[in-house]
Amino acid sequence: MDSSKLGSVPEEEQHREESNKPVVSAFASLPDRRPTKSSEKYSPLDWSGFFDGEEDVCIPDSNDVFHLYMAGTEGPVVFCLHGGGYSGLSFALSASKIKEKARVVAMDLRGHGKSSTENDLDLSIETMCNDVFAVLKALYGDSPPAIVLVGHSMGGSVAVHIAAKKTLRSLAGLVVVDVVEGTAMASLVHMQKILSGRMQHFSSIEKAIEWSDRGGSLRNIDSARVSIPTTLKYDDSKNCYVYRARLEETEQYWRGWYEGLSEKFLSSPVPKLLLLAGTDRLDRALTIGQMQGKFQMVVVRHTGHAIQEDVPDEFATLIINFISRNRIGPHGVEIPGLARPNPAQAQGQSPAQTKS
């Protein structure tokens, strides 16, 4: 079974034996260890070399705090949602390229990275969608800029569900990365075995990065050096690093991530791009939709499940070209010859109608 299209949890892991998802607030409370000469290749890289800044967004009337990484100053907002077990830093290397043409916001989803919520195990699709809506509201109020949702694996499911609700009026584009409903649903039965079969403990962050590299879950060592640390946390009781995301305890939500995903994707009223890692079987709905020209599909060769990490330059180029092809500007779709409406008018329009 081809696992390149699974849902985040499952998918990543499957894609090269188990996709690894270290997680963490790693640089916070961990012992200060100096890398040995043999581990220098796997030493962590700081996110600041790729993003311009980070921010914690506190959600009103709750104790939820979501961590964001941000880059760029102009253009539409490319809002990135990572897969299960990853973190916002999964998009670090690609963000450093995308920010030349657009703004980038990469969010640590609930139970991942440096985000902290009242219930980190509630990874239901509705809860994660509500989290994204709450963060967008906190960032932009009632006048959000044009948003291009980019979701990988589990994050792709969240992006599709948000788009299908048709309530984010500034949504101007949808990019789904390596997740197809049929393959993901068929793979769920194997997920617990995959999760339990991966290495569970690491003596150092360098060892976790080395494991992801040698195991093949990530194929770009520089990306692994940036993204892996925030997928881990230090366990004082075990004197080692363990996964930040407790994916094995969220099984009750997995089916909800992917059921009906193809129809929701096709029903989303914005330009759509599906990126796949290698050839994969499209289900009937997607096959018909592709034949009808309802979305653009690109098969990215020589990459694993985490396309944005394995080939970040190619991924960034695909995102930039998608924005350019669909004329997505900071205020929505740009139509030559038509003046940009004022903000009050734009609020009453759909993303496709908003001009700049």
Structure tokens at 192: 């617990």
| Contact in structure between 174 and 163 (CB atoms under 8 Å) | yes
Q: Which two tokens stand for residue 208?
A: 């976790």
Residues in the chain: 356
Task: Classify each residue of 121-155 as buried b or exposed e, where b means 16 or more C-beta atoms within 10 Å of its C-beta.
Answer: ebbbbeebbebbebbbeebeeeebbbbbbbbbbbb
Give the residue from 105, 131, 137 showing the smallest Cα distance to 116.
Answer: 131
Known catalytic residue: 190? no
* 8 A C-beta contact, residue 82 and residue 9: no
Classify the C-alpha dihedral 81-106-297-191 as positive or negative: negative
Sequence-distant (6+) residues with CB within 8 A of 192 are 248, 251
> Catalytic: which of 19, 115, 153, 217?
153
* Residue 96 and residue 166 in contact, taking contact as beta carbons nearer than 8 Å: no
Other CB atoms within 10 A of residue 31 CB: 8
- C-alpha distance from residue 223 to each of 50, 184, 250, 291, 338 (Å): 10, 25, 26, 35, 42
If we measure between CA atoms, which residue out of 154, 155, 180, 170 comes closest to residue 297?
180
Per the CB < 8 A criterion, the answer to whether 202 and 232 are in contact is: yes
Nearest to 94 by CA among 321, 318, 315: 315
Is 64 considered catalytic here? Answer: no
**How far are the Cα atoms of 28, 258, 262, 278, 287 from residue 284, in angstroms, in the given order?**
47, 15, 9, 18, 5
**124 tagged catalytic:** no
Query: Which is the catalytic residue, given 178, 213, 280, 310?
Result: 178
Q: Name the active-site residue from 15, 112, 305, 331.
A: 305
Q: Strands 296-300 and 272-277, how do they pair?
A: parallel
Alpha carbons 171 and 192: distance in angstroms, whole number: 35
- Catalytically active residues, by annotation: 153, 178, 305
